[in-house]
Amino acid sequence: MKSPINFFAGSKYFWWIVGFSVVWKETGWNSIIYLASITSINPDLYEAASIDGAGRFKKMLHITLPGIKSTIFVLLIINLGMIMNSGFEAQLQLKNDLIKDTAEVIDTYVLNKSFFQGADFSLGTAAGIFRSVLSILLVSFANKTAKYFGQERLY
């Protein structure tokens, strides 16, 4: 008989648990935004496509996706800016002594270096600035990509 798996003690499961929880948390909000964007598409376009013989897939490909393309780009830019935030709370709450090396992210590193492990403020500040600069670069890259494709952008 196999022994039960302790998911919170195995480092190979940690990022799967955190990743799933983040995706589960963000799916609701993004779904609301996409559904609101889809409702702004003129229903006459779908009716005309049905008369022309288009099925569900063709309607999605040629009406829905082009209709929400600007929303897709704006959410992509926002989510790329948030990628470096990495869910500080989840890592801090799920971390234990067995997986502390696996659970370390930039945010918990900054917290530990700034306040707990010898209070090295300069190293904690440098890591925080590095995270911010990387986020700014990701948002700028995504914004330039949106400009290249002629879509809505943040600035």
Q: Which residue has the tokens 């780009």?
A: 73
CA distance 11 to 129: 28
φ/ψ of 117, rounded to 5, equals -90, 75
Class of residue 91 by CB neighbours under 10 A (exposed 0-12, middle 13-18, buried 19+): buried
DSSP of 70-107: HHHHHHHHHHHHHGGGTTHHHHHHH--TTSTTTS--HH
* 81 and 128 Cβ atoms separated by less than 8 Å: no
pLDDT at 37: 95
pLDDT at 68: 93
Domain extent listing, the chain:
21-67, 85-155
pLDDT tens sequence for the chain (155 residues): 688 888 778 788 888 888 888 888 888 888 999 999 999 999 999 999 999 999 999 999 999 999 998 898 888 888 887 777 766 777 777 787 888 788 788 788 788 777 776 777 788 788 888 888 988 898 888 888 888 887 777 67
pLDDT at 23: 83
φ/ψ of 53, rounded to 5, equals 95, 15
